[in-house]
Structure 1
Amino acid sequence: MKAFVTGGTGFVGANLVRLLLQQGYEVKALARSNARLDNLNGLEIELISGDLNDPDLARSMQGCDCLFHVAAHYSLWQRDRDLLYQSNVLGTRNVLAAAKAAGIGRSVYTSSVAAIGIDPSGQPTTEQYQSPVEKLIGEYKQSKYWAEQEAVKAAQLGQDVVIVNPSTPIGAYDIKPTPTGDIVVRFLERRMPTYVETGLNFVHVQDVAWGHLLALQKGKSGERYILGNQNLSLKQLLDELSQITGLSAPARSIPVWIPLSVAWIDETILTKFGKKPSIPVDGVRMSKQPMYYDASKAIRELGLPQTPIHIALKDAVDWFQENLIQTE
């Protein structure tokens, strides 16, 4: 089979492309003309130069059997509202329409747990819950909600589209890096003296890649599947990193109002003087409550693997030390 993949240059996409090649798929990968191609260098794929909103995208998809729409613009900066809508919402609409026009049989759309929100009951959130969009914190989460609605609408109109909602992936090829990868990098560089009391659901990025392929093979059109594994506090994650690396984990937490104040000053005042903000306000606001999820549905219906998070962190540490960090 031949797969068309958007977002192959990114973290999840790069792992998915490698898995597809290992499983015998031919791969066409869409990449912007100015994209970093480090994650795809040396792979036997057909690289297509283009954009999510290209009007002739269907022509590039001709001959493909399936689509993995992984690409999305990620930003927690409030100034990026328009770009988030253009890329995530309109881009998803265009990509799915192109897949339909090209006669692609089945599509897998990569949403996020960010589009679901957090169940106020205090229990780990499942696919059954949906936060009102106005209660999703920040423009990024809201853009992912509206993008997911594009996939839902396409499925309701008869297109075969399965939705996957990764939680917080960890592992290799986190090239930018993601916010979680940045935590690992700052820990390795000993630039994390304190932490905030929060928590996330973590999953090995290779399991996320498998979740996409399993969704193609076993998922039900129009349904969504949380691709996650273990709920951990940030402190527990840092303690795991300490065990792996031998470096000391920060022992002191700080109240969330401190980084929130710094972020507000950064984003609303200092940017006016040309200073690049260091902490996004929306990112700090998200950390005010644990973001825990339940991946039981994907485990039960898709057979989602559950690689121990210790292994995911070890793989991330090894990759960062080899590719991004100058070690002594």
Structure 2
Amino acid sequence: MPTVFVTGATGLIGANICRRLRERGDDVRALVRPGSESVPLRELGVALVEGDITDGASVLAAADGAEFVVHSAAVLGGASQDADEHARVNTGGLGHVLDAAETIGARRTVALGTTTYFDYTDRPLSEDSPLLDTPPGDPYSVSKRAAFVEVMRRAAAGLDACVVIPGGTFGPSPVPGRALEAPSYNLRILMALKGEIDSTVHFPIPWSYADDVAAVTVAALDRGQAGQKYLAFAHPEDVCSMAEFLNRAGELAGSAHRVRDITADLLADDPELQRQSGPSLVALANRTFPTPYYTDTVTRARFGHTPLRLDEALRRTLDWLEATRR
């Protein structure tokens, strides 16, 4: 059985990756921070090594002996963003993982990216979309773009590494506490059902069910190509704003509460609303997006990717949320 080293294993995507790997019999070793919610991973049979992604020595020690590497650790783009933290974790941490992969001679490394730094203004986002010449300046996009560039640089230099790009990710997780922390979409669903969210910033989001992202990531470990990116989204027809997403969840759950969209025009006239929303969402609200938003023909053809439709993914998520809250 191969050994797979996973970072970000307590996160929503990372935990689902660990579960899928263990279900098929792989040995999984995860780097976890001291005090993190790691008991569910141990119960899955994941070997836990304490350390921090920002410490190269602990990353290398945890990766030693692994044949494959999955890097899903990241600081997400919440309303308040510290540029130094994002650079240290999202860019520096990625560098430590790639250094470790090179040192141990990993057969393949798969890193998780994001959509915000690609150029798809005039044509749908695809596996071949180039980087934006002038990317958004928020710390999350800047640090994740730098990480993507570094993966591609290492791949060009001979490292077998590729990138999986998820969208707005939600769904069940083996590690429920982390999956319900802010700024998770799972938490936002719960808050909307309780009537605690009245409005959200309007921009189209390609939604991703967490288990589908895990499936694409595991497939990339098996059959991915160095220097390639893969799109782990649901269906193009399911792209919608966060308000629409939350309202669909509300309809399925029988909730009467509805969330309204905050447009770019409203943001422009309200500096306090901009501050509350955060730089990543403000940047997205002011971007122009194509229709359809994306095409993922390479991912579907190479991996046989057949994601859930949004309503079915939401039904499964609502069932899990109900069971988790009991």
Q: Tell me the TM-score normalised to structure 1 length.
A: 0.86
Count of matched residue positions in the alignment of Structure 1 and Structure 2: 313
Show the 5 A alignment for 1:176-195: 176-195=181-200
What do the CA deviations read for 1:227-286 (whole angstroms, capped 9, x no partner)? Answer: 112242225424421331011252754444445666x43786xxxxxxxxx532432332
Query: Matched residues in 2 for 1:178 and 1:76: separation?
Result: 6
What do the CA deviations read for 1:122-149 (whole angstroms, capped 9, x no partner)? Answer: x431122224253325110121110011
2:150 is aligned to: 150
1:265 to 261, 272, 278: 272
> Which residue identity lines up with residue 185 of structure 2 in the other structure?
T
What do the CA deviations read for 1:188-210 (whole angstroms, capped 9, x no partner)? Answer: 11223345543211121111001
> Which residue identity lines up with residue 25 of structure 1 in the other structure?
D
1:280 is aligned to: 278
Q: CA deviation at 1:304?
A: 1.8
2:65 is aligned to: 63
> Which residue identity lines up with residue 221 of structure 1 in the other structure?
A
> Which residue identity lines up with residue 21 of structure 1 in the other structure?
R
Q: CA deviation at 1:180?
A: 2.7
What do the CA deviations read for 1:155-187 (whole angstroms, capped 9, x no partner)? Answer: 111111121111222211223244433431222
Unaligned stretches of 5+ residues in structure 2: 174-178
Query: Matched residues in 1 for 2:134 and 2:211: separation?
Result: 32
> Which residue identity lines up with residue 298 of structure 2 in the other structure?
K
Distance 1:258 1:218, change over 3 A: same
> Which residue identity lines up with residue 127 of structure 2 in the other structure?
E
Is 1:198 matched with 2:206?
A: no
Distance 1:42 1:261, change over 3 A: farther
2:176 is aligned to: none
Is 1:245 matched with 2:243?
A: no
Q: Helix, strand or coil for the counterpart of 1:114? A: coil
Q: Determine if contact 1:198/1:287 at 8 Å carries over to the other structure.
A: yes
What do the CA deviations read for 1:37-96 (whole angstroms, capped 9, x no partner)? Answer: 365252211101011232323232222110111111113446410111111111111111
Is 1:232 matched with 2:224?
A: no
Distance 1:178 1:15, change over 3 A: farther
Is 1:208 matched with 2:213?
A: yes
Deviates more, 1:41-50 or 1:17-26: 41-50
Query: Matched residues in 2 for 1:319 and 1:133: separation?
Result: 41
Query: Matched residues in 2 for 1:106 and 1:50: separation?
Result: 22
> Which residue identity lines up with residue 199 of structure 1 in the other structure?
P
Show the 5 A alignment for 1:164-175: 164-173=164-173, 174-175=179-180
Query: Matched residues in 2 for 1:36 and 1:260: separation?
Result: 40
Q: Helix, strand or coil for the counterpart of 2:197? A: coil
Query: Matched residues in 2 for 1:321 and 1:133: separation?
Result: 44
> Which residue identity lines up with residue 303 of structure 1 in the other structure?
G
Q: Determine if contact 1:240/1:310 at 8 Å carries over to the other structure.
A: yes
> Which residue identity lines up with residue 223 of structure 1 in the other structure?
Q
Show the 5 A alignment for 1:44-193: 44-56=45-57, 57-77=59-79, 79-116=81-118, 118-121=119-122, 123-132=123-132, 134-173=134-173, 174-193=179-198
CA RMSD of aligned residues (A): 2.5
Query: Matched residues in 2 for 1:177 and 1:107: separation?
Result: 28
> Which residue identity lines up with residue 127 of structure 1 in the other structure?
E
Distance 1:93 1:18, change over 3 A: same
Query: Matched residues in 2 for 1:212 and 1:255: separation?
Result: 34
Q: Tell me the TM-score normalised to structure 2 length.
A: 0.86
> Which residue identity lines up with residue 305 of structure 2 in the other structure?
L
Distance 1:213 1:258, change over 3 A: same
> Which residue identity lines up with residue 155 of structure 1 in the other structure?
A
Deviates more, 1:127-136 or 1:47-56: 127-136
Distance 1:88 1:251, change over 3 A: closer
Deviates more, 1:203-212 or 1:167-176: 167-176
Query: Matched residues in 1 for 2:308 and 2:288: separation?
Result: 22
> Which residue identity lines up with residue 298 of structure 1 in the other structure?
T
Distance 1:39 1:261, change over 3 A: farther
Query: Matched residues in 1 for 2:74 and 2:262: separation?
Result: 32
Q: Determine if contact 1:260/1:285 at 8 Å carries over to the other structure.
A: no
